[in-house]
Structure 1
Amino acid sequence: MKYPQWLKRIVIIALIALSIGLSSLGVVLLVAKLSPPPALSVPQTSVVLDIAGNPIGERTPGGITRYWTALADIDQDVVQATLAAEDAHFYEHNGFHYSRIAAAAIANLKAMAKVQGASTITQQYARNLFGDMSKTWSRKLREAYVTLQLEMHYSKDEILEGYLNTIYYGHGIYGIEAAARFYFGTSADDLTIAQASLLAGIPKGPGFYSPKINMENAKKRQAYVLSQMVSAKVIDASDAQLAAEKVLHFAPKKEDIRVAPYFQDTVYQQLSSHLHLTERQVKTGGLRIYTTLDSNLQKIAEKAVAENLSEESKIQAAVVIMEPKTGSVKALVGGRDYQESSFNRAIQAQRSPGSTFKPILYYTALQNGFTPATRLMSEPTAFPYDEGREVYRPGNYNGYYAHRPITMAQALALSDNIYAVKTGLFLGTDQLIQTAKKMGIDSPLKSVPSLSLGTSAVNVLEMTEGYSVFATNGRHVPPQFITRVENAAGEVIYEAEPTSTQVLDKDLAFLTTHMMTGIFDDRLNGYTTVTGRDLIPLLTRPYAGKTGTTNADSWMIGFSPQLVTSVWLGYDEGKTMDIPSEKAAPKYIWADIMEQSHKGRPLRAFQPTEDTVPVAIDPESGLRATSDCPVQRVMYFEEGTAPQGYCSLPTAKKANESPLLPVEEPKPPWWEQLWPF
C-alpha cells in the first residue's frame, strides 16, 4: 500500500518534533539534575529570648511572621489534614499530578474560566520559594522547572516540611508554627484535630477562609477538610463529627507591646556592631537570639520606676541591673515610655554622675597612701588652679561643714565635697581619669578640679560597669547582653565568651567597697547624716553604694555581691530638679529594686580580702576605738596602715560636745604639711 506523499511528510515532521521534544525534555531534566538545588531558605522571623528561653521580641521580614519548624515537630493531625486538603497523592507523584491537570483543564474549558486548580504541594512550594504570583507563561515555566529540581534533589518529607513552613495563612502569617500561635496561641506540635483541620483549610483562600474574617466560610472549609481526611482513612467519621462540633477558642489579638524595648534595641545594635550582622540578616534570617535579660528583674525595675514617680511629671529615668561576676545585664530601663520616646537614656544620654564618682576618687587616693581613717579639714575653701589664674569654690550640700578634720570613710558617707576636691587636687586629675578608664568608663573626662565631684558627663551603663569592678574586688567584666545566636537551622553562629581582667588592686577595691557600706551606717553621722540614712529601715541585707546629685541629675548606684543596680533621674532638656521628692526618688527606686531582686537569693556579705585587717575605729577622731569612745565602727585597712593612736575620753567628749567647732589636733600628717589646703 502506497501512502500519499503529504502523509509521509506529516509523519516525518511529527517524528522530528517528537524527537526534538523528547531531546529538549531530556536536556531540561539533565540540566535540572546537574544544576545546584534550589535553596530552601526563605525569609524568617528572628526571635529574641530572655535568659529563661522565653520569647520577648521579634524582628520580622517585611512585616510578615514566619518560623521554621522541623516536620517531626509538627502535629501529625495538621500534616494529614494538609495532605488531605491539598494533595492526597503527594507521596505517589513526581511533582505533577497529570490526571488532576487533565481534569482541571477540561473543567476550566467547559466553564471558560479558571474554576479548578491542579497544583501539587511541590508546585505550590516552588511558587512560594521564588515568590512570583503572576499569572504568566514565564512564571508557570519557571515554577515547573523548580518543581522538577525540588523532586530531584530533595526527599518528599523535606518538600512537605518546606511547604508547611512557607504557606500563607492570612494576616501576614506564614507557616504552620506562626499560624498555630496566631490563631490558637499554641505551637504546631500541640494542635487538636479540630484546630488542625481548620488551619489546613485556610491556605486555599486566606482572605475568604480565615476564621477571623468569616467564621461561616471557615467552618464550611473545615467540613470539607474533615471529609477528605475520612476518605483518606486517617480519621473515622466519629472523629470528624466531634472535630466539626468542637467550639474553638481563638487567641486574642496580640498587643504590640515589646518586653524591655530599650534592652532589645541594644541587642539589635550589638548584633550589628559586635557580630557584624546586617539588618537584613537579622530581619530575615530566622535567628534565635539568646540574651541575658531576666524578665522578672525587668518587671521589678519598671514597676519601681512607675510607683516612685508621678505620672504627671515629665522627669525621665534610667535603670541598669547587672551581674558583676559575669557582666550579664539583667534589666535595662531607658525611659518611662518607649512609645513616646525610644531614646535610650541608660546608654545614649550623657549626664553628670555627681558624687557617685567619688568612690573612684577614693580608690585612687588609697593607691596613693590614704587610708579610710585619713583626715582632712571640712570647711569652706577656695582652691586656686591653672597656676593661680582660676579659683574653684565648691560647697557642701545645704552649706553644712564639719569645721574640723573628718576621715575619708566619713567624707564618703556624708558626701563631703571639700574633702573630695582636696583629695583630687592632691592626686591630680590624670590619675583619677586613668582609674576610671580601667573600670570601663570610656566617656571623655575633663581634667578640671570639679572632676572629683563628677561634673564630666558619663552614661548609666558605664557607671554600672565601673561599680561592678568594686563588687568583684577589682575585676573588670564588660557588660554582656547576648549569650548565644543560632541560625534558622539551629547552628550556633555566636557564643559569648566573657572576659575577666584584674584592673584594680583587690585589697584596695575591697576597702573602697567597705567604705561604701557606710552610707547606710548611722555610726558615721557627723555634721550631717549619712546619705543613705532614709533607706536603712528598708534594707534587709548588706549593700554598698553612693548617691549623687547635681542641679539637673539625681543618681543612686549600689550593689551586693550578686547584683549592681544604677538609677538615674533627670529631665531630657537638662532643666534643674527643683522638687525634693524627685531628687530623693532614685534612692527609693534603687531600694525597691534591690530588695525585690534579692528575694530568694542567699544572704551574702562582702568578704574581706586576705591582706586586709579589721580595726574598730572611732569615726570622729579616726583613731582606734576604746571603751571611752561612745561610737565605734569597724573599718578595714591594708596590713600595716591602720592608725596606731587610740581614742581617749577627752577627745571623744570634745568631739561630741562641739561637732561643728574645730578641735585641737596633733601634728598633721605629711600630706597636710606639704599641702596648703
Structure 2
Amino acid sequence: MTLGFAGMTTLLLALKATPLPDQSFLDPTRIETEQGSVLSEWTLRGVRSEQVPIDQIPIQLQQATLAVEDARFYQHHAVSPRSMFRALLVDAKSGHVVEGGSTITQQLVKNLFLSQERTITRKVREGLLSLQLELHESKQDILTQYLNTIYYGHGAYGVGAASRLYFGKPVSELSLAESAMLAGLPKGPSIYSPLLHPEAAKDRQRLVLNRMVQVGALTQEQADAAFTQPLHYHTAQDPTASAPYFTHTALEEAKDHFHISSDELYRGGIRITTTLDPVLQQAAEHAVVSTLPKGSSIQAALVAIDPQTGAIKAMVGGKDYATSPYNRAFAERQPGSTFKAILYTAALQHGWTPAEQVNSELTTFLYDKSKLYTVHDYGEFYAHRPLTMREALARSDNVYAVTANLDVGPQTVIDQARKMGVTTPLQPYPALALGVFPTSPLQMATVYATLANGGYRIVPHTVDEVRSSFTGSVQQFGTEKDKTRVIPEAVAFQMTDLMKSVLGPGGTGYKIHQYMHGPAAAKTGTTDTDAWMVGYTPKLVCAVWVGYDSNHPLSLDEEHLAGPIWAKFMGTAQQRLPSDWYRPPLGLEKRVIDPVTAELATKNCSTTETDYFTPGTAPKEFCSLHAEQVPEEHQVEKTPWWKKWFWR
C-alpha cells in the first residue's frame, strides 16, 4: 500500500512538473482566399469558438451544464469513478452506449489535446492528461475553457457562438429557459437541435431542468415555469464559414488531393490557400439572392473557373447553406442546349463549317435503319428556312442540332464530351444533341473552359497550396502538367466567335446584355425542369443552373432565371478582370456571308454575318440572290508586279 501511495505521489509530481501539450484550438487549420484573407479557421468539427469570460456566462447556464454533464465537478479530481460506474450500468441496461461517463475535464481534454478515436490507449492518455490539467489549472478555468470550446451544433463552438446562433443575443442575456436548452445540446447537437428537431429539444430541456432540481440548483416551480416559457429562435445564417459551399469543398479537396488526414486537420497547424476571389464570390452570392424569387423553394448553383488554370474563383451551391448544405454545383441535371457547344465543336472537326445550312422546320429523323425520332423546337417556333450554324446557336435550333449529331455520329459527340470534361453517363441517341443526359454545373464549366483557353482540358480545383507548420511541408497544385490539348485552337476560336451571337440581337441571351460590360461567349439551355446558362470571357468561365431539388417543372418565368444570374455575375467579373477579346489564330479565313444563301455577301445583301473558316472550307461563290456588286472585303486587289517585289 505504501508503494502504491508512493507511486501515485510520484506520478502526480511528474504530471505537475510536465507542461501541458499545445492546445490545438490556438493554432487551427486556416482556410484562406488567394489574397490571404481568412475564410475560416477549422478543427475537424468546425470553426473556432467565441471566447467569453466566465463572469459573462450566466450562473444558471453554468449550473445547467454541470447538472446534466458533471454534477460532482467540484468534488472529483479529473476522473469520476461514480460517473463511470453509473454510465456502465445505464449502457448495460440499454444494450448500447447511452452515457459516456466522462467528466467535464475529460471532455475538455478530448477537445484540446486528443483525437476522437475510441481506443484503450487514447482512454489512458485522456485520464492522465485530465489529471495533469487539474494539477495545472483551477476548476473555474477548466469550466471556462469547456464552455468556450464544446460543440453546440450548426457550426457553433462555445456558448458565445451558440447563444448568437440560436437566440441572436449575447450569452450574458440568456434566460433560464434558454440556458437549459443550450446546456442540453452538447450530448447530441444534431439530435437535440431546436432548429431541426424541436420536440426532441424540448424533451432534452425538460431533462436538464429536472437534473437542476435534483442537484438543488432550482425548485420544481422554477423548473416548470422555465419549461413553459416560449422560446424564440434566431434564424441567422450558419456561422460555419464565409463562402460555406466553397469552403467545405476546399476542405474535402485538401484531404483527398493533398492527402491531409482528418486528424491532421483537427490538430491544426495547417494553412490551406484556396483559389477563391472574395469579390467574385460576393458577386456570385448577390446575383443568386437578388434574382431568385423570395419565398420560393427554387434553387440555384453557380461555378466560376479561371480557364487557364482551372482555379475555381467563386462557387454557390444553393440559396442558403444553413438550411440546405447540399452543394448543387456537383448535382447532375439535364444541361439542355448548353450541350450544343460540345456538339458543334465535334461537328467543326468533322466536315461542318459555320456556313453549313439545315432547314428549320418540324422534322422526323430515321435512325438505326428503322427508328423514328421527331424533333421539336422550343415553343414550336421554326424559322422555316435554312439556318447557318451561327443562327442555329443564337436561336438554339433543335433541328439543326439533331441533324449535326446524326451526321457526325453520336459516338463521336460522346467522345468529344469526354475529352472536354463530361464524365457522367451518355448514350448515342439522337436526343444526345439536346442535352438530355444529366451532368453537373462544375462539369459544364470545365467543358466551356476548353473553348475559353484555346482548346486545353483543365482540372478544376479549389486549393492551390497546403502548408503544415508541424512538418514544414509545402504542397502545391500543379496546373501545367494537368493541361491537355483536346481541341484545335482554330476550332475553339470558331466556337467562341459563334457563341457571341447568343448575346446579340435575336439570340436567346439578348435580353440580359444590359448587365454586360463587354463581349462574351455563352449558351442558354432549358428543359422542363432545368434552366442553364454557361459562358465565358478570356479570363473567366461561369456556369449557372436553376431548378428545384424535387425536379418540379419550371414555370415560364422561372425558365429565364439562369440568364440574369449569369449576366449579373459576369458583368462584375468583366470589371474585376478586364481583358482584350480573342484574336483569330493564324490560318483562319474571315468571310462575310449572306445567311440566307450561305454564300459570300455582296453590297446588296441586307443581312450578313461574319464567320471564320479553316483553309479551303469557306464559301467561294457570291450570293446568288444579290450578285450585282462585290464588296471591298471580297475584292482581290491586282497589285503591280514591281510592288509585289518591293513590298512583299
TM-score range normalised by the length of the shorter chain? 0.5 to 0.7
Determine whether 1:587 maps to 2:569.
no
Report deviation, 1:615: 1.3
CA contact (8 A) 1:406 1:621 kept: no
Map Cα deviations across residues 264-322 of structure 1 (whole Å, 9 max, x no partner).
22112222322233333323333221111112111111111111121122211111111
Q: 2:320 corresponds to which residue?
A: 337
1:652-671 to structure 2, matched below 5 A, reads none
| Alpha-carbon distance in structure 2 between the residues aligned to 1:539 and 1:255 | 31
| Alpha-carbon distance in structure 2 between the residues aligned to 1:139 and 1:398 | 70
| Alpha-carbon distance in structure 2 between the residues aligned to 1:574 and 1:358 | 22
| Alpha-carbon distance in structure 2 between the residues aligned to 1:436 and 1:141 | 58
1:344-383 to structure 2, matched below 5 A, reads 344-347=327-330, 349-383=331-365
**Comparing 432-441 with 402-411, which one deviates more in the overlay?**
402-411
Map Cα deviations across residues 536-576 of structure 1 (whole Å, 9 max, x no partner).
34332110010011111111111000111111111111121
Q: 1:628 corresponds to which residue?
A: 604
| Alpha-carbon distance in structure 2 between the residues aligned to 1:339 and 1:132 | 27
Secondary structure in 2 matching 1:393: strand
CA contact (8 A) 1:63 1:172 kept: no
Map Cα deviations across residues 369-420 of structure 1 (whole Å, 9 max, x no partner).
11101112222111122331x3111111221222222111211111110011
Determine whether 1:640 maps to 2:616.
yes
Secondary structure in 2 matching 1:535: helix
Q: 1:418 corresponds to which residue?
A: 399
Q: Closer, same or farther in 2 for the Cα pair 1:260/1:424, shift >3 Å?
A: same
Q: 2:120 corresponds to which residue?
A: none
What is the one-letter code of the residue matched to 1:355?
S
Q: Closer, same or farther in 2 for the Cα pair 1:319/1:42, shift >3 Å?
A: closer
CA contact (8 A) 1:628 1:647 kept: no
CA contact (8 A) 2:24 2:112 kept: no
Determine whether 1:53 maps to 2:67.
no
Q: 2:524 aligns with which of 547, 554, 566?
A: 547
CA contact (8 A) 2:111 2:149 kept: no
What is the one-letter code of the residue matched to 1:419?
Y
Secondary structure in 2 matching 1:431: helix
Q: 2:511 corresponds to which residue?
A: 534
1:566-577 to structure 2, matched below 5 A, reads 566-577=543-554
Q: 2:148 corresponds to which residue?
A: 172
| Alpha-carbon distance in structure 1 between the residues aligned to 2:126 and 2:251 | 40
Q: 1:263 aligns with which of 246, 249, 254?
A: 246
Q: 1:608 corresponds to which residue?
A: 584
What is the one-letter code of the residue matched to 1:644?
K
Residues matched between the structures, number = 488
CA contact (8 A) 1:65 1:172 kept: no
Q: Closer, same or farther in 2 for the Cα pair 1:520/1:141, shift >3 Å?
A: closer
After TM superposition, the score normalised by the length of structure 2 is 0.66
| Alpha-carbon distance in structure 1 between the residues aligned to 2:519 and 2:112 | 65
Q: Closer, same or farther in 2 for the Cα pair 1:144/1:58, shift >3 Å?
A: closer
What is the one-letter code of the residue matched to 1:620?
V
* Structure 1 unpaired stretches of 5+: 1-16, 68-112, 115-126, 148-158, 160-165, 184-209, 214-253, 523-528, 653-677
Report deviation, 1:66: 8.0
Q: 1:277 aligns with which of 260, 263, 277?
A: 260
Report deviation, 1:600: 4.3
CA contact (8 A) 1:317 1:568 kept: yes
Q: 2:311 aligns with which of 310, 328, 339?
A: 328
Q: 2:439 aligns with which of 453, 458, 462?
A: 458
Report deviation, 1:489: 3.8
Which structure: larger Rg?
1
1:232-251 to structure 2, matched below 5 A, reads none
**Comparing 600-609 with 359-368, which one deviates more in the overlay?**
600-609
| Alpha-carbon distance in structure 2 between the residues aligned to 1:538 and 1:64 | 37
Q: Closer, same or farther in 2 for the Cα pair 1:64/1:173, shift >3 Å?
A: farther
Q: 1:578 corresponds to which residue?
A: 555
Secondary structure in 1 matching 2:284: helix
What is the one-letter code of the residue matched to 1:382?
T
Report deviation, 1:59: 2.4
Report deviation, 1:172: 2.0
| Alpha-carbon distance in structure 2 between the residues aligned to 1:365 and 1:520 | 22
The structure 1 segments of at least 4 consecutive aligned residues displaced by more than 3 Å after TM superposition are: 36-44, 61-67, 127-133, 138-147, 166-171, 210-213, 648-652
| Alpha-carbon distance in structure 1 between the residues aligned to 2:313 and 2:408 | 36
1:489-568 to structure 2, matched below 5 A, reads 489=470, 491-498=472-479, 499-522=482-505, 529-568=506-545
| Alpha-carbon distance in structure 2 between the residues aligned to 1:141 and 1:266 | 36
Report deviation, 1:325: 0.7
Secondary structure in 2 matching 1:467: helix
Report deviation, 1:512: 1.1
Secondary structure in 2 matching 1:423: helix
What is the one-letter code of the residue matched to 1:513?
T
Map Cα deviations across residues 5-52 of structure 1 (whole Å, 9 max, x no partner).
xxxxxxxxxxxx9xx9xx99xx99xx99xxx99975746632211122
Report deviation, 1:144: 13
| Alpha-carbon distance in structure 1 between the residues aligned to 2:46 and 2:426 | 43
Report deviation, 1:586: 1.0
Q: 2:449 corresponds to which residue?
A: 468
Map Cα deviations across residues 502-561 of structure 1 (whole Å, 9 max, x no partner).
111111111111111111233xxxxxx321221234332110010011111111111000
* Structure 2 unpaired stretches of 5+: 51-73, 76-106, 114-123, 137-141, 151-156, 162-170, 175-235, 629-648
Q: 1:303 aligns with which of 282, 286, 290?
A: 286
| Alpha-carbon distance in structure 2 between the residues aligned to 1:318 and 1:631 | 38
Report deviation, 1:465: 0.4
What is the one-letter code of the residue matched to 1:426?
D
Determine whether 1:449 maps to 2:430.
yes
| Alpha-carbon distance in structure 1 between the residues aligned to 2:329 and 2:488 | 28
Map Cα deviations across residues 227-254 of structure 1 (whole Å, 9 max, x no partner).
xxxxxxxxxxxxxxxxxxxxxxxxxxx9
CA contact (8 A) 2:41 2:47 kept: no
**Comparing 633-642 with 487-496, which one deviates more in the overlay?**
487-496
Determine whether 1:487 maps to 2:468.
yes
Q: Closer, same or farther in 2 for the Cα pair 1:377/1:447, shift >3 Å?
A: same
Q: Closer, same or farther in 2 for the Cα pair 1:649/1:446, shift >3 Å?
A: closer
Report deviation, 1:131: 8.8
Report deviation, 1:488: 3.8
Q: Closer, same or farther in 2 for the Cα pair 1:378/1:141, shift >3 Å?
A: closer
- Root-mean-square deviation (CA), in Å? 4.4
What is the one-letter code of the residue matched to 1:57?
S
Q: Closer, same or farther in 2 for the Cα pair 1:630/1:144, shift >3 Å?
A: closer
Q: 1:72 corresponds to which residue?
A: none
After TM superposition, the score normalised by the length of structure 1 is 0.63
| Alpha-carbon distance in structure 2 between the residues aligned to 1:331 and 1:267 | 12
| Alpha-carbon distance in structure 1 between the residues aligned to 2:329 and 2:46 | 29
Secondary structure in 2 matching 1:568: strand
What is the one-letter code of the residue matched to 2:276?
L
What is the one-letter code of the residue matched to 2:435?
G
Determine whether 1:435 maps to 2:416.
yes
